[in-house]
Chains A and B, each alone.
Chain A
Amino acid sequence: MRGTERFSSLHPVVTVCYFVAVVGVSVLLMHPLVLGVSFAGALSYALYLNGWANMRKTLPGLLVLMLVAALFNPIFNHRGYTTLGYLGDNPITLEAIYYGLASAAMIGSVLLWFVSYNKVMTSDRFLCVFGNVIPALSLVFSMVLRFVPRYFAQAKRVAAAQRGIGRDVTSGSWYARARNGSAVLSVLLTWALENSVDTSDSMLARGYGLPGRTAYTDFRWRDRDLMAALGFGGAVLVVAVAMIVGALRVTYYPGFVVSSWSVATWLALGVWTALCLAPVVVGVVEEAKWRSLLSNP
């Protein structure tokens, strides 16, 4: 992962800003083309990062959610003047269906962007971004990430140990299981709190609490990070201006109207498309270079 993929090797501040930008615009704008492009970009990036095998498990659930989102609106919302039929006493309108589809695309693309975000934003990237802003909380965050897998493993050991002296958490009545389960939790809790004294000693021994603590990160700000930041910033600016001047305005009720198909609209859509597809395109180009290097030694 590290260093193999061009986009996620950018400075974490840039990657965070990128995700904030694409998710923010996807949530704010209900323009069908904007959402469609966002969905396509999010899906391709998620596939690119995780591979088809992994995404195959995620996608069905996502599709169900999108389907629910698409149906939810026409069932509960009866605005719009094109009535297609009735569900009980309530009219089902074409506009509400359109809006439902847009919602589904929005939810789908946001969730997919988060899939990639989860993959790209590892804890060290998170610490790089927030380590200086909220040092104490960042440290707690890092420690919690250290403790959680440790506690999971210890919980398993405790359960096995309890079983070894005749207290099983997997058998018996529901109440007995809950009781033994809470015994496991009690042991875990006692253990975690008692052993935390060592952890705090270890922090003190290494000077935690001295004034002027710095936050170290492995990431360096390079020229290409600046280029990328400028590029992304420019793209977001174009979309924002287009939004403010109304070039991306769409109304769903009472009738479905796309207000403008001006040059500004097309320009904004073009820039938006470039922004959404940037990670995948950069990645694919990079890979092609790799292959040509490998085949022509």
Chain B
Amino acid sequence: MALVAVQSLNFAYAGSQREVLRDVSFTIDPGEFVLLIGQSGCGKTTLLRHLKTALTPHGRPSGSVMFDDRPLEDIGLEEQTRRIGFVLQNPDNQIVTDKVWHELAFGLESLGTPREVIRRRVAEMASFFGIVNWYHRDVETLSGGQKQLLNLAAVMTMQPDLLVLDEPTAQLDPIAAVDFLAAAKRINDELGTTVLVTEHRLESAFPLSDRVLVMNQGKLIADECPHSAGATLARQDDPMVFALPAAVRLALTLDEVQLALTASPTTPMTIREGRTYLRAKLAEVGCESAVCTATTRSMTDQRPSASLPAPSSPLLLTSPIPPSFCAQSQNPQSQSLQTTVIEANDVWFRYSRNSEDVLRGLDMSVNQGEFACLLGGNGSGKTTTLGALSGLNKPYRGKIKLLGLNPAKAKGMELFRAGLSVLPQDPQTLFMRNTIFDDLDDAARAHYTDKSARETAVEQVAATTEITSLLRTHPYDVSGGEQQRAALAMALLTNPKVLFLDEPTKGMDAFFKAKLASVLHRLIDNGLTILMVSHDVEFAALYASRCMLFFDGSVVTEGAPREFFVGNSFYTTAANRIGRGLVPGAVSVDDLVAACRVPRANGGVGLTASRSMASEGRTTEASAGKSGLDAATRSRRVDAATSRSMTGAGATVKSDVPES
């Protein structure tokens, strides 16, 4: 007996011809933990909202949604409120009242529950979620993770049978996201509540789920257990494969033959399973592990993974874009030519006289044309650093130089006229007009007085950021990733030389991240310097040219992505954690794959051998182009990669690895 049964559901929004949901059918049994995945805009949210009448959007539905063997529309609002809990994406927007206790009680108040019962239920839930210590607090004093946990608890006080979570961790930092998913799993395990969740962070969500539903353009294209879901996606060339956990991608790439035929019941999903799997694979190719690799390698020897030879596999399920942009800072020749545009020397800062130091002797420098990434945990002071560099926060000790100016002493907008632009973390802090075009036009006004020049500039920037088709849309009617690019366009209209990005990939799916990366690299090719602040390790590993780890008020360690992530053991990519001690120097799944593919005879260690082969091509290229890499080649490569990832043709890798 299914708890939820959706039968050939179709839906189009009012006033639109496009079917957002097309013939969707699935069932969910009581007690299941079901993961729904798909690219942004594939109709996930619309589908989830059909599971609760109060949230169902206006439009033309057909088909049926059954809950507990009754049509949903026949179930009263009171019963739906009680039995179907819903948590939305943005933790802040969902909280209604000003106190934690009141928020917990809100649903029960609506249901007309007597005071004594509310007291008991609230107490139970507060204890279950560990909210007891902040039960009396103002909501505003909570962290993002606590807020989302509060939203979850506030729904759970009604003791629902079905819990629907719509991208609940998109706005959270990685640690809070893992905590949240663990809490959802605990509800599933300990209370038996059925959970249906949409997620972009598949690395943590995949292993938790009993079943995976995959959507593409309004259609349900897979409905199976997580062990086989990856293989199904790979068979269909669905772009979602790029978002799968590293261990799954590794297994899919290496075992493509078997997987294409029968789903392996033991696909590795977690890091631990990935390591076991990798160990076995390495044994197969005859390289026992770290013992034989570690000795031959040193940090300086490492090359970007893009210079790996193209594996001849038709099913390379690794990163959508060759991570080839880390070359610049590694090339000693080009480094000497570069000018430093951002420099901080022993910078100390605190917000007020009696507070603690946030920056403690920060030293850093960024060269022209670099894509530098400042990584670090939540609340470690990364954003404060951007503030100090842009003159918002004035340090009490130390020196900062940005574009030759001292930000703390720069008058008014001097720094910004000199070429600094900052993309804020939340793109919604920039929009106020009714179309994106109007907002861009406003932003351009300060720099272009002539109307036609302004229009040209806007069109150009829109083309660069790939939002041309959205220009006539209301800024709040586009997705988060598109908002981010529109905001980027606004920041670019000031013609910056240096661009600061604050957590630009927050809430984005793999596809939008790849698109953002291609836009950013296009900008770097035009001579822009980028300093990005992020917790997104995977993004930095793939696309940045240099990474810095920020901790306790200063930069602890830095280096090109490869050397950086190899040096870290926890704060690093999933692939690196899988390969730790087995394939040293592996940062992406490509690296792991290559290590398993290259036969032992080829000079001991696969990675080193294949690298040295490719490094010749690299040198010629470096001497030919400015700043170490030929710009045209790079952007062509990115474009090709992006279009590939867009069309979802993950299998056509062969054609476009330029070094080959």
Which A residues contact B (CB, under 8 angstroms)?
Answer: 2, 123-124, 127, 139, 142-143, 145-146, 149-150, 153-154, 157-158, 160-168, 171-172, 183, 186-187, 189-191, 194-196, 198-199, 201-218
Contact = CB atoms under 8 A, between A and B. Distances in A.
Contacts of A164: 390, 416, 421-424, 491, 500
Nearest to B416: A166
B413 A157 contact: no
Nearest to B92: A150
A214 B113 contact: yes
A201 B110 CA distance: 14
Given A161-B429, A213-B110, A198 B423 contact: no
B392 A160 contact: yes
A130 to B, nearest CB: 13
A256 B81 CA distance: 68
Interface in B460-510: 476, 490-491, 493-494, 500
B106 interface: yes
A291 B119 CA distance: 33
B417 interface: yes
A165 B430 contact: yes
A216 B106 CA distance: 8
Contacts of A127: 102
A205 B113 CA distance: 16
A146 B88 contact: no
A199 B428 contact: no
B154 interface: yes
Nearest to A142: B97
A171 B423 contact: no
B349 interface: no
B109 A187 contact: no
A166 B421 contact: yes
A183 B110 contact: no
A8 to B, nearest CB: 14
A202 B154 CA distance: 11
Contacts of B432: 183, 186-187, 189-190
B55 A201 contact: yes
Given A2-B136, A186-B432, 14 more contacts: A149-B140, A161-B424, A163-B416, A166-B417, A168-B413, A195-B90, A199-B96, A202-B151, A205-B54, A206-B106, A207-B78, A210-B77, A213-B112, A214-B112
B93 A198 contact: yes
B102 A216 contact: yes
Contacts, number: 181
B155 interface: yes
A165 B113 CA distance: 50
A165 B421 contact: yes
Interface string B101-137: 1100111111111110011001000000000000010
Contacts of B491: 164-165
A202 B98 contact: no
A206 B428 contact: no
A143 B118 contact: no
A207 B476 contact: no
A214 B93 contact: no
A198 B6 CA distance: 25
Contacts of A186: 432
B158 interface: yes
A171 B93 CA distance: 32
Contacts of B500: 164
A127 B102 CA distance: 10
B410 to A, nearest CB: 11
A-B CB proximity, top 9 nearest: A164-B422, A207-B81, A207-B110, A198-B93, A212-B112, A161-B424, A171-B412, A161-B429, A206-B107
B566 interface: no
Contacts of B78: 207, 210
Given A150-B92, A157-B429, A161-B422, A172 B139 contact: no
Contact of A166 (B98, B392, B428, B494): B494
Contacts of B139: 146
Nearest to A208: B110
13 contacts: A124-B99, A139-B96, A143-B97, A160-B429, A162-B429, A164-B491, A165-B416, A165-B421, A166-B494, A172-B412, A205-B155, A206-B81, A207-B110
Q: Residue among B107, B112, B428 with the most chain A CB within 10 A?
A: B428
Contact of A146 (B96, B108, B416, B429): B96
A142 B105 CA distance: 13
